[in-house]
A and B are shown apart, each in its own frame.
Chain A
Amino acid sequence: MLKRAGFICGYAGGILALICALLMLYTVPAGIVDSVVQQIGSELENEHIIAMGEMFSRGDWPALSRGAFEDFASRVAKSSRLPVKDSVFRQAALFLYRAELNLVVSAVLILLSIAAAFVAFFGSLAFYKRPMPAGAMMLVSALVLLVSAIYTGTAMPTVLACLLLAAGGVIAFIPEKTPVPVRAGFRPYVPPDFPEDDDFAPTRMNRQRETPADKIHVRVRRDGSID
């Protein structure tokens, strides 16, 4: 019964995890765009936008490192004819660097979440055959999903999937009930057998216990004989 509940938790959690991880493909970019627009409104000035426009018009976009973006900003500032200070170009470049870094990290986390969701789902399928590896797969995937969901700000729908996966993973590690071994030097109690009682006719209750009605099977052939 417990194993069955564990499988159902793991399977439902795996499906939910897949849905939540794939939902991140929409919610995370939308969240990033929203936060970048808010930051532009609160942190930047008009001249930063003009400097960004100048940087976007250049073909040689820098690699994803702080130093590369600072070098790029100083190069664009030197060659630009706009009446904008070098420090503004540098601040605009650092803003773009932070936005791009956030985008790349979020993309990696989305891919990790989708992979973890698949691992959890296939782990739940292996629940009955290999409970311990399946439990480990579900627990690790739940952790990865939770961390990436918290980082990307989409924890709310993912938490339920993580809870179900964690429940399935924990149940997978609970050992099944096994018969208690007999201690050395002791034997289990066996009722005594008195051969002299064998000749007595059994009572009605004993007769029913020995040959219950649903255990009697007869096969009747067409010629009327009974096997």
Chain B
Amino acid sequence: MSRGGYVTSMVGGVLALVFAMLMLLTGFLWAVGGDLVRFFEERGDRVGSMWKLLGRYHGVADFPKEDLGKYVPEYKEALENTTSEDLEALADKYDSAAFRDMAAIVARLEALRVRLIIGTVMSVLSAVAALVGAQVAKVRLKAGAVTILCASVLTLGFSLLAGSVLPMAAASLLLLIGSLVLLSGVRARNGQQPGWEAE
């Protein structure tokens, strides 16, 4: 077995696993990171009033008027139940651009959530398959190489699905190179002079 192909596949597999586990974070940052930074830069001074209006919308009393032991769980539940439609309704009610911007950010996150979770889980499984394939290649060269090749394609595909392709592309490339080097080893072994090896 080619040592270079094995090492490249192992490095690619480990990187793929790390990037797949970080994909929830990177996918979130790629999707709404810039918009969130811009929101807090431009409308950071409105956050306090938005906080208060959101609480009122969900029927939570204003902060100093209620006991903290009651206010915290009520407001936590209100935050968990807030959707982009609630924020749109608040934007219409108070004619607020800040609520409208936040509604757009939350709507993008809601649309991404399912794809991000599926993409992350499948990328982790593909990375594990690549690591298993690298060990299988020691015993069954062709099967291991094909497993790594499939894993490289799958990690790239699922990272595209999750909207976080940039870090994963490097790992997929390493896996692809590793699998091709291993497959070239298979071809070189099959190309030996026939008739002599069987004896």
Task: Indicate which residue in B10, B68, B135 contacts A40 across the interface (CB closer than 8 Å).
Answer: B68
Extra contacts, 19 of them, besides A19-B21, A22-B21, A50-B64 (Cβ < 8 A), are A15-B17, A18-B21, A22-B18, A22-B22, A25-B21, A26-B25, A38-B72, A40-B68, A41-B68, A41-B69, A41-B71, A41-B72, A42-B69, A44-B68, A46-B67, A48-B68, A49-B68, A121-B14, A125-B10
Chain A residues whose C-beta falls within 8 Å of the C-beta of B24 in the assembled complex = 26
Chain B residues whose C-beta falls within 8 Å of the C-beta of A219 in the assembled complex = 199
Chain A residues whose C-beta falls within 8 Å of the C-beta of B67 in the assembled complex = 46
Q: Are A23 and B21 in contact (CB under 8 A)?
A: yes
Distance in angstroms between the alpha carbons of A217 and B21 in the assembled complex: 55
User: Does B189 have its Cβ within 8 Å of any Cβ on chain A?
Assistant: no
Minimum Cβ distance to chain A for residue B60 (Å): 13
Name B97-131 residues within 8 Å CB distance of A.
124, 128, 131
Render B135-153 as a binary contact track against A, CB cut-off 8 A, 1 for contact. Answer: 1000000000000000000
Distance in angstroms between the alpha carbons of A26 and B131 in the assembled complex: 23
Q: Are B199 and A217 in contact (CB under 8 A)?
A: yes
Q: Which residues of B contact A (CB under 8 A)?
A: 10, 14, 17-18, 21-22, 24-25, 63-64, 67-69, 71-73, 76, 124, 128, 131, 135, 199
Chain A residues whose C-beta falls within 8 Å of the C-beta of B72 in the assembled complex = 37-38, 40-41
A-B CB proximity, top 7 nearest: A41-B72, A22-B21, A41-B69, A46-B68, A46-B64, A217-B199, A40-B72
Bin the interface of chain A by size: 20 to 34
Minimum Cβ distance to chain A for residue B176 (Å): 21
The residue among A15, A40, A49 with the most chain B CB atoms within 10 A of its own CB is A15
Q: Are B131 and A15 in contact (CB under 8 A)?
A: yes
Distance in angstroms between the alpha carbons of A41 and B68 in the assembled complex: 6
Chain A residues whose C-beta falls within 8 Å of the C-beta of B128 in the assembled complex = 15
Q: Are A46 and B199 in contact (CB under 8 A)?
A: no
Chain B residues whose C-beta falls within 8 Å of the C-beta of A40 in the assembled complex = 68, 72
User: Does A100 have its Cβ within 8 Å of any Cβ on chain B?
Assistant: no
Minimum Cβ distance to chain A for residue B3 (Å): 13
Minimum Cβ distance to chain A for residue B6 (Å): 10
Chain A residues whose C-beta falls within 8 Å of the C-beta of B69 in the assembled complex = 41-42
Residue of B nearest to A44 (CB): B68
Q: Identify 17 residue pairs between A and B in the complex whose beta-carbon atoms are under 8 Å apart, listed by A's number.
A: A15-B17, A15-B128, A18-B21, A19-B21, A22-B17, A22-B18, A23-B21, A25-B21, A25-B22, A37-B72, A41-B69, A41-B72, A44-B68, A45-B68, A46-B68, A125-B10, A219-B199
User: Does A11 have its Cβ within 8 Å of any Cβ on chain B?
Assistant: yes
Residue of A nearest to B25 (CB): A25
The residue among B18, B21, B24 with the most chain A CB atoms within 10 A of its own CB is B21
